[in-house]
Structure 1
């Protein structure tokens, strides 16, 4: 499982909760890093923040789906704007 989240606290909370449930977790601080990790590691699922520097979650989703159309991608965000 890959977590793409620029906020260290949010990333740590997700990582710790998922590891408690038995998941193997890979972390990335932005979409670019996440995309690089998708190239080198087997990932069954991506959890991504929507608002990140360099490459946001929307761009990550579009690029990842172009390479791996069946890869599940879930978005999480603390953004309360419409």
Structure 2
């Protein structure tokens, strides 16, 4: 039997509900993504997250989305890679 060392880490970096609803109702993707990037920079969630897990060789983002090009995890991944 194969053993797997799996560590689940929950990162609360989803866009605030109000921002998400704005996109769902009326805003184009560019407007939403710009606001979400600003939110990530202002909260420093990514920096704190990477600092806590700097010993991890690999971090996997798991999510479900109908549109895999226009969803907040894409922005989150880009943001984390830029740090």
Give the structure-2-normalised TM-score: 0.36
Structure with the largest fraction of helix? 2
* Higher fraction of strand: 1
